[in-house]
Amino acid sequence: MEARDITTSSRLAGKPRRRLEAPSPRYGEKVIQGLLAVCALVSVAVTVGIVISLVEPSLGFFGEVPVGEFLFGTNWTPSFQPQSFGVLPIVVGTLSVTLWGLLFAIPIGLAAAIYLSEYARPRVRKTVKPALEVLAGIPTVAFGFFAFAFITPLLQDVWPSFLGQGPNIFNALAAGLAIGLLIVPIIASISEDAMSAVPAGLRDGAYALGASRMRVALRVVFPAALSGIAASVVLGVSRAVGETMVVLMAAGNNPQMTLNPVEQIQAMTAYIGTTATGDIGQGTLEYDTIFAVGLLLFVLTMLMNMVSIRLVRKYRQVYE
Amino acid sequence: MSDGIRTERTRLAVAGARSVSMAELTNQPRGEVIRGRIFWALLMLAVSIALLGLALLLIDAVIDGADRFGVGLFTDQVSGIPENGGFQTAIIGSLWVIGGVILFSVPLGVGAALYLEEYGDGTKWWNRLIELNIQNLAAVPSIVYGILGLAFIVRGPLSLGQVALSASLTLTLLILPTIIIAARESIRAVPPSIREGALALGATRWETTRHQVLPAAVPGILTGVILAVSRAFGEAAPLLLIGATTFVTANTNNPVEDPYTTLPVQIFNYFGRAQDEWLQLAAAGIIVMLLLVLAMNSVAIWLRNRYEQNW
C-alpha cells in the first residue's frame, strides 16, 4: 500500500528532470575559479609593485635633481664631489655594449635561422635546435667569465696595431661579443619559428618559377617572415640592454661617454649592481640613483617589448 | 615476354624524359650557382661560429678550472685563502633558494595558466590586460626584479630581511611569466574534443580540467618549469640587490633566518677578488654550475621530445 503510494506520487510528481543543470550550486567550482583568477592577478600585482618600487624613490630623487639634467647631462659622478647626475654616459655605455653585441648576433643569428629553416635536413634541425635551446640556458655569470678570461686576452693578442691602442683589461667590445653570443640562440630560435611559419605554397611557387634556393630564402621567405624576425631582434636588444653580469664582470666600472670599443665603460645595469652592493647609506641621494636608473631601464625595455609584441601580432594576422 | 619488354621500354622512356627535364629545369646560370654556393658557405660559417663560440665558453671554463676541480668544491666552505675555498655554503644556499622557487612558482604559474586558458574569457578586456602584462613582464631586466624584491620583500610590506626565502620569492616573480607562457602553450595544445567529451559525460569544469586537461599537458608544463627553474638557479643579478653577496661562513640551516649565498653569486664573488688563484676557483665553480644547468635543461628538452603528442 505504502510502496504503491510512493510510486504513484513519484509518477505524479511529473516528468523526470530534463534540464542539464547541476542539482547543487557547486560552490567548490566557484572557489577554484576564484583561486585560479588570483594566481593570474599576481602578475598584475607584480607590475604594480615594480612601478611603485621604482617610481616612489625616483620621485624623491627628481625632487632634487631636475629630470632634464638627469636625462641630458653628460657627466655621471654620483659618488664623488662635485656630484653630477647626467645619466648619458652610462646610457651610452649600455648602447655601446648592445651595439657590438648586435653586430655579432644579428648576422650570425639570422644566418643560423635561414640555415635551420631552409637548408638543414630534418635530422640536423632536430639536433641543432634543441642544442641551441639548452645553450640558451647557460647562466650569464659564465658568459661574463668567458668575456674576461678568454675574449679580452684573445682581442689583446690579435688587435692589429693600425687600429691604435689595444683593448683595456675591461672593455666594451669583449662584453658586447659575449652578450652577442648570449643572444644568438634567442634570435636564431625565434626567427626560425617565423620562417617556418611562412606557408609552403610561397616557397613552392618560387621554386616552380625556377628560383634558386638562395633566392627563395632571401627574396621570398625572409621578407615574408620579416616582422617575426624584427621581433626577435628587438627581443635580443632588450635582453642585451638588461644584461647585468656580463657588463659587470667584463666591461668595467668607469662611466665614460664613448663608443670606442677598447675603452672601459659602465653600463646602466652594472651601475645598479655596483652601487647596490657597495656600502652607500640608504636614503642618500646617491643611493636613490639606483631607482632612477632602474626606472629608465624599465621604461626602455618596456617600450621595446611593446614594439616586439606589435610586430609578432602583425605577422600572425597575415598567415593564419 | 612482350609485357616484360614494354615495361622495360616504359622505364627507359620515363628515365630519359626525367633526366632531360631535370637538366632543363635545374640548369641555372653559372653565376647563380656560384652565388648559391657562396651563400651556403656563409651560412655554414655563421652556424659554426655560433656553435664554436658556445663550445669555447665551455672548454675555457674546463681548462681554467680543471686544476681546482674536485671533491673539495663540494666539501669546503667560503674561505679567505684560495686553496681552502669551496662552494659548499653556496650550493646549500642555492638548494634552499631553488626549493622555495619550485614550491611557490609551480602552483602560481600553473594556476594562472589554467585560469587564462580554461576559465578566463579571452575577449574580455581584463583578461587581455593580464595577458599583455605577462608578456611585458617576461622582458623586464632581471635586475629590476632585484629592486622590486628589495622594496617589497626584503624591506617594506614583507620585511623578511636578507634571507633565502626573500631570494626564493624574488626569483619566483622573475620566472613566473616564463612558466605561465610555457604552461599556456601546452594546455592550449590539448584538443577541445577531450574537454567536450568529459563535459558531455557530466564532468564539471574543474573535474574536466583536473582529470583530463592537466594530465595531458603535464609533459609540456614540466619542460617549461625545469627550463625556468634552471634559469632561476643561474641568475645572479637580482640577488646582488637583495643581499646574497654577504660573506657567509656558515651553512644556511634556516631559510627564514640565516644569511645565505648562492652558487652564481659566490662565483661572482670569487671572480671579483681578481687574483689568478681566485679566478681558477671561480672557473671550477662555473664547471659545477654548468654541469647542473646543462643536465637540467637536457632533461627538460628530452622530456618534451619524448612525450610530445600529436593529437
Facing A184 at nearest CB: one of B50, B279, B305: B50
**CB–CB contact B57 A138 (8 Å):** yes
Confidence (pLDDT) at B20: 72
**CB–CB contact B282 A294 (8 Å):** no
**CB–CB contact A138 B234 (8 Å):** yes
Say if B24 is an interface residue toward chain A (CB within 8 Å): no
Say if B297 is an interface residue toward chain A (CB within 8 Å): yes
A176-198 pLDDT, tens digit per residue, is 999 999 999 999 988 998 898 88
Query: What's the mean pLDDT in B37-65?
Result: 92
Mutual orientation of helices B263-272 and B276-307 as an angle, nearest 10°? 150
Separation in Å, CA of A308 to nearest CA in chain B? 10
Say if residue B169's pLDDT is above 70: yes
Structural domain contains residue A222: yes
Please say whether the beta carbons of B263 and B235 come within 8 A.
no
Structural domain contains residue A220: yes
Facing B230 at nearest CB: one of A26, A37, A137: A137
Structural domain contains residue A201: yes
> Taking the mean position of all CA atoms in its chain, how far away is CA A110?
17
Distance CA A312, CA B227 (A): 23
Please say whether the beta carbons of B180 and A43 come within 8 A.
yes
A42 contacts on B by Cβ (under 8 Å): 108, 112, 176
Higher-pLDDT residue of A2 and B184 is: B184
Say if residue A7's pLDDT is above 50: no
Q: How far is CA B129 from CA A44, A91, A93, B120, in A?
A: 9, 31, 34, 12
A50-80 pLDDT, tens digit per residue, is 999 999 999 989 998 899 889 998 888 887 7
B287-304 pLDDT, tens digit per residue, is 999 999 988 888 888 887
Chain B residue with CA closest to A28: the answer is B206
Separation in Å, CA of B148 to nearest CA in chain A? 5
If 0-12 CB within 10 Å is exposed, 13-18 middle and 19+ buried, where does residue B71 land?
A: exposed
**CB–CB contact A142 B230 (8 Å):** no
Structural domain contains residue A172: yes
Say if residue B43's pLDDT is above 70: yes
What percentage of chain A reaches a pLDDT higher than 90?
50
Structural domain contains residue A55: no
Distance CA B71, CA B56 (A): 25
Structural domain contains residue A118: yes
**Least confident segment among A40-49, A289-298, B31-40:** B31-40
Confidence (pLDDT) at B3: 57
* Secondary structure string (H, E, C) spanning B75-122: HCCCCCCHHHCCCHHHHHHHHHHHHHHHHHHHHHHHHHHHHHHHHCCC
Interface ipTM: 0.86
Before A23, cis peptide (omega within 30)? no
Q: What is the mean pLDDT of chain A?
A: 87
Structural domain contains residue A2: no
Q: What are phi and psi of B242, to 5 degrees?
A: -105, 25
**CB–CB contact B290 A112 (8 Å):** no
**CB–CB contact A141 B267 (8 Å):** yes
Query: What's the mean pLDDT in A104-130?
Result: 91
Residues 6+ apart with CB under 8 A from A146: A178, A181, B56, B57, B60, B61
Task: State which residues form the domain around A135.
Answer: 76-319
If 0-12 CB within 10 Å is exposed, 13-18 middle and 19+ buried, where does residue B154 land?
A: buried
Long-range contacts from A49-54, C-beta under 8 angstroms, 24+ separation: A49/B148, A49/B151, A49/B152, A50/A298, A50/B140, A50/B144, A50/B145, A50/B147, A50/B148, A52/B151, A53/A291, A53/B147, A53/B148, A53/B150, A53/B151, A53/B152, A53/B156, A54/A291, A54/A294, A54/A295, A54/A298, A54/B144, A54/B147
Confidence (pLDDT) at B23: 67
Query: What's the mean pLDDT in A217-222?
Result: 92
Facing A235 at nearest CB: one of B139, B236, B264: B139
B144 contacts on A by Cβ (under 8 Å): 50, 54, 242, 294, 297-298
Confidence (pLDDT) at A5: 47
Number of domains in chain A: 1
Structural domain contains residue A6: no
Say if residue B12's pLDDT is above 60: yes
**CB–CB contact B148 A53 (8 Å):** yes
The enclosing domain of A303 has a CATH number of 1.10.3720.10
Higher-pLDDT residue of B250 and B102 is: B102
Coil, strand, or helix at residue A16?
Answer: coil
**Least confident segment among A8-22, A74-88, A233-247, B216-230:** A8-22
